[in-house]
Amino acid sequence: MIVPPWRIIFFGTPSFAVPTLQNLLQGKDEVVAAVTQPDRGKGRGQKVVPSLVKEFILQRKKDEFLIFQPESLKEEAFQERLRELQPDLFVVVAYGLILPGRILKIPKYGAVNVHASLLPKYRGAAPTAWAILRGEEITGVTTMIMDEGMDIGDILLQAEIPIVRDETSETLNNRLASLGAQLLVETLEKMKSGNIRPIPQDHSKATYAPRLKKEDGHIDWREESEEIDRKVRAFNPWPGAFTSLKGQLLKIYSGEVRKKAPIGKAGTVIWVGSDFIEVETGKGSYLIKEIQLEGKRRMNVKDFLSGHSITVRTILE
């Protein structure tokens, strides 16, 4: 049976959503509109910038493409505009808000979400970071039928990938975004052919990945070096793992674990090499390799040491 192209409204905001949108625009279905978060202030100057989904659409010069940026999904005028478009399906990828029931009832075949974890593990806003932070060796993506609530809908398909040793949230997110875009294509094909069976989640096995806050990035040097390394990688690029050097904020972007026996106070610089700074931790030590001092640019330690003096016994806090 030949199924006519579906009319799809896409919901998404960050870079993770872009590959799925790109696949949809290149496919046989008709993407009739995109819904993304309102333009927000960014950086020190709070320059107002569009979401990466909106930026992607504008770069394609699709002047006729409908883009909605409601401040609230409860706006009746916005909901009516969605109804007028007579969508067959919503595709939702990291939009940033939970869709209320009245909106989920609009499309003929419901709403499909692409989520960056193997549900029911890591429900929530930051699944990639929390998977790294908790030392997972495998993660993946899930497509699911959306329901009211946070990532609780029935599972459609899943795909796994390993988390490699030096993985950061940025690199893992990019790989999962590509995987999710492919999985969404497969999901739609199977939905149209009737060759898919939604599977209810086992809610007793659910774990959560709450939204990250800036203060979450603070490094407690009393933790084991392995935990600190996971925090540095999990919080790269945002909010960034950080410590304090002589009263100034010092962000750490990369490093390496050393399994040494403790010899002194956690947070103490115990060696300064040509391209690394070794710091005592609660168990082992950590070699800092890439940093950014408050008000300065991001750089490797070799370049940093050419303009800043750090000596053994300096305390990071």
316 belongs to a structural domain: no
Report the DSSP beta bridge partners of residue 283. Answer: 224
pLDDT in tens, 109-130: 999 999 999 999 999 999 999 9
What per-residue confidence (pLDDT) applies to 267? 95
The residue segments making up the domain with residue 182 are 7-205
CA separation for the pair 242, 250 (Å, rounded):
5
313 belongs to a structural domain: no
277 and 138 part of one domain: no
CA separation for the pair 316, 216 (Å, rounded):
17
Whether 307 has a pLDDT exceeding 70, the answer reads yes
- Identity of the amino acid at 107: P
Tokens, residue 125: 């806003």
- Please tell me the total number of residues recorded for the chain in this structure: 317
Structure-token match 């002047």, residue found:
63
Q: Which of 154, 180, 205 is the last residue of a domain?
A: 205
- Identity of the amino acid at 314: T
pTM of the model: 0.94
What per-residue confidence (pLDDT) applies to 61? 66
pLDDT in tens, 245-271: 999 999 999 999 998 777 789 999 999
Number of domains in the chain: 2
Write phi, then psi, for 92 (nearest 5 degrees): -120, 125
238 and 285 part of one domain: yes
The confidence band for 42, taking pLDDT boundaries of 50, 70 and 90, is confident
128 and 225 part of one domain: no
- Identity of the amino acid at 301: V
Write phi, then psi, for 176 (nearest 5 degrees): -70, -35
314 belongs to a structural domain: no
277 belongs to a structural domain: yes
* CATH number of the domain where residue 276 is located: 3.10.25.10
22 and 125 part of one domain: yes
What per-residue confidence (pLDDT) applies to 147? 93
Q: Which of 160, 185, 205 is the last residue of a domain?
A: 205
What per-residue confidence (pLDDT) applies to 96? 93
What per-residue confidence (pLDDT) applies to 34? 97
63 and 179 part of one domain: yes
Q: Which one-letter DSSP state was computed for residue 159?
A: E
Calculate the alpha carbon distances from 31 to 43, 68, 180 in Å. Answer: 32, 13, 18
Mean local confidence (pLDDT), 177-205? 97
290 belongs to a structural domain: yes
CA separation for the pair 182, 315 (Å, rounded):
48
Give just the sign of the alpha carbon dihedral 220, 226, 229, 234.
Answer: negative
Q: Is the peptide bond before 120 cis (omega within 30 degrees of 0)?
A: yes
187 and 228 part of one domain: no
The percent of residues in the chain predicted with pLDDT above 90, rounded, is: 87
CB-based contact 150:123 (threshold 8 Å): yes
What per-residue confidence (pLDDT) applies to 1? 62
Mean local confidence (pLDDT), 157-173? 96
Report the DSSP beta bridge partners of residue 299. Answer: 291
